[in-house]
Amino acid sequence: MKLLIYSIPIFLVQLVVSNADVMNGTMKLMMVQAIWRHGDRTPTETYHNDQFTENYWMFGGGGWGQLTPIGMRQHMQLGQKLRARYVNGQPYKFLNTRYNQQEIFVRSTDKNRTLLSAFSNMVGMYGNTAQENASIAGVDYPDVVGWPVGFVPIPIHTIPDAEDHLLSVDNYCPLQDTIWNLAKTTDTVSNYFNSSAVTSLMGNLTNYCGEEINPDNLWILYNALKIEKQYYPAQFKQFTPWYTDSLFEQIDIVNSQVQDFQNGLGLEGKMVNGIDIGKILRKIRGGTLVNDIYNHMNRKTQCSSNNGKECTYTNRLKFFAYSAHDTTLYALFSLLGVAKLAVQPRGYPLYSACALFEQWQDVQTNQTYFKLIYHRHENDTLSNVITSGIPGCEGSGDYCPMAVLKNYSDVFKPEMEMNQWCDVNILKSTSTSSIFSSLLAFSIFYLFVSSK
């Protein structure tokens, strides 16, 4: 798998790292993992009759799906909040005051909007720390005319989008398409999609849009309308005379329900051809990410008492960030059972929404715990702890035993590496497995009878 790195080279020197542990009672902070949605963007695409063409969207370099200056500002401010919480002692002095490449790793999907969101976030965390006398000219950034004073560039890592099943949950995956098509044959999804309210809405929207609108592509219309109304309110009324707030609410309700189905919500225990539809959807969409998060924690725990060379990187790493999408966050929340708690009353995680997984260790018992914090939107704080909403974490307060996360990791771990699993014909595999099981059962029965 080819790794691409977007960065501007800087001269690195060894930084002085504090050995002081960050404590909360007997609990020691070990590592933080952040998963965020990109900031405000232009529409990714639109519908046939839309008069808002791509030429209207000149933000962030221009074109569909680009991060806007509002989105850049949202992530800069989120980065400032992260700096306050983990650098400046509000409440933890966990990370170095200057950027230390041994402490921080940032991974993004291969989309301009997520890459630029990550860059903008790092500007908030470390990109203009000259005001705090934290960054050093000639050491952390070039001391030359034309370079923004105090700006410290941070590397953002990514892989090609087609290979990214960790963070790009909607990229091409024939297995996911197969399971989703099976989901649509269940009574739960079929009855909803064929209800008079939904079919009537789809019919009206098809007439308005000049192309077929169905539950699978409804999200395109939802996003286009929401963003166009935000940026061009006067022209929006002129270009979209059929729009009403009531109609948009209907679109929102149906689109949110489709999103739930696609993430396995409401399909728990639904079996088709011997396949647990809800469980497999959650495995495909969120299983790889929850395993990655857990594996980072598990590795950190294992290395906490090992100073060997094989643990050097892990022991130094303190902050791992994923720059991704609303669908990434919602798939993770759906798998962990906190989707409705985190996203209310419905819909997608908002721009610059961020989930923080803090890993803590009780120094008296050596037991490891995690805390889940959710930053809902740009005006939110980093103080909303939702750990206790995770099934299995009830009654644990802010800290939940890492064994609970391990269980989710084990239960929803994909059957194989996703780039391989996506190409598996699960219907054929299921059929072959059923035939093999039947033959095996018959053989065992025959041998049992013959031995009598």
- Of residues 415, 422, 452, 419, the one with CA closest to residue 159: 419
Tokens of 336: 């962990």
Structural contact between residues 328 and 164, judged by C-beta atoms closer than 8 angstroms = no
Bridge-based pairing of strands 27-37 and 319-324 is parallel
Distance CA 421, CA 415 (A): 7
Q: Peptide bond before 349: cis, by omega within 30 degrees of 0? A: no
Q: Which of 325, 326, 375, 398 is catalytic?
A: 326
Nearest to 297 by CA among 356, 364, 221: 356
For 60-63, the CB contacts below 8 A with 24+ separation are 60/112, 60/113, 60/116, 61/112
The number of helix segments (H) and strand segments (E) in the chain equals 16, 11
Cα(219)–Cα(43) distance, integer angstroms: 11
Is 326 among the residues known to form the active site? yes
Helix axes 426-450, 174-183, angle to 10 degrees: 80
* Residue 373 · residue 386 · CB < 8 Å: yes
Measure the CA–CA gap between 30 and 370, rounded to whole angstroms: 10
What would the two tokens of residue 220 be? 């395109």
Distance between CA atoms of 170 and 325, rounded to whole angstroms?
10
Active site residue 161: no
Here the tokens at position 48 are 């046939």
Specify which residues 371 forms β-bridges with. Answer: 358
Q: In this structure, what are the phi and psi dihedrals at residue 390, rounded to the nearest 5 degrees?
A: -75, 125
Other residues' Cβ atoms within 10 Å of the Cβ of residue 105: 19
Catalytically annotated residue among 38, 75, 296, 375: 38
SS3 215: coil
CB of 45 closer than 8 Å to CB of 175: no
Contact 42, 63 (CB under 8 A): yes
Catalytic residues: 38, 326
